[in-house]
Amino acid sequence: MDRIHVYPIPTNDTWSRDFGPITVAQNGTARLLDFGFNGWGLKFAANQDNQVNRRLSEQGVFGSIPMQIPGLILEGGSLESDGEGTLLTTAECLLNPNRNPHLSREEIERALSSLLGFDRFLWLENGYLAGDDTDSHIDTLARLCPNDTIVYVSCDDREDEHYEALSRMAAELKAFRTRDGKPYRLIPLPWPSAVYDEEGHRLPATYANYLIINKAVLVPVYGDSHDEEALAAVAQAFPDREIVGIDCSPLILQHGSLHCVTMQLPQGVLP
């Protein structure tokens, strides 16, 4: 516990992935970006969430690291980067008029290029999870991995409502090319059994919402028969890391999972 720091700060919700600071490196130093968060398109209140980063900074959490407010609505869960200039994202989220209706696709690309350093954009036009309030965040559907690999959610149940949309998403992923013009190595994740809340609403259970940490990958599991298969699939993408399953049954009841509830800070950000 001597490595755990607790800061009591009011929030509207728990999903720090979407309102936490995004760190970029500029001229060898870290810089924090505090994007606007509007409750995934004005679905939920976000007045407290939007003040979390400022309040953390005021308490000295980030030391002297500067924080910039870009004036753009953007959630961390909508971005997936290879760390080398490529962004994988969904049109359903980033181009949704409930976020930045005044910006076109080209204008959003220019803004993200300037702020985050992207020079390649891979847009998915298909893919969703029932019960997902985020308008198809990429971190629930497909993730960029080392060595030009993409791990993605795959539905093999033709009777499931997701089958058509996720099949079209898989076809899009197969058509994507790396910076060198080659196809990506694609690793499908198994389709977990349907999970419902007490009122019978389907929840967005996904194995794609894993968290990469130092020397390990923490993978959400749900006490499902497909859990072990999912862990093995992620292990293919990260052979040099320990793969650890984390029971996310309580989180999925809140319509999110492991990556959604966390935000990593690179070494050097914390004093």
How would you label 117-132 residue by residue, b for 16+ Cβ within 10 Å and e otherwise?
A: ebeebbbbebbbbebb
The pLDDT value recorded for residue 156 is 93
Q: Go through the domains of the chain in sequence order and give each one's CATH number.
A: 16-252 (3.75.10.10)
Kindly list the averaged pLDDT for each block of 10 residues, start to end, along the chain of length 271: 93 97 92 98 98 97 94 98 97 98 98 97 98 98 98 96 98 98 98 95 97 97 97 98 98 96 93 87
The pLDDT value recorded for residue 27 is 87
Cα–Cα distance for residue pair 198/206, rounded to 1 Å: 19
Cα distances from 230 to residues 5, 31, 40, 84, 90, in angstroms, run 32, 35, 28, 26, 23
The pLDDT value recorded for residue 26 is 86
Cβ partners under 8 Å of residue 224, min gap 6: 192, 193, 205
Of the candidates 49, 3, 43, the residue with the CA atom closest to the CA atom of residue 263? 49
The pLDDT value recorded for residue 195 is 94
The pLDDT value recorded for residue 229 is 98
The pLDDT value recorded for residue 167 is 98
Cα distances from 50 to residues 26, 54, 99, 150, 258, in angstroms, run 24, 8, 15, 31, 21
Cβ partners under 8 Å of residue 76, min gap 6: 17, 18, 20, 22, 263
**Which residues are known catalytic residues?**
260
Cα–Cα distance for residue pair 129/140, rounded to 1 Å: 8
Provide the whole-model pTM. 0.96
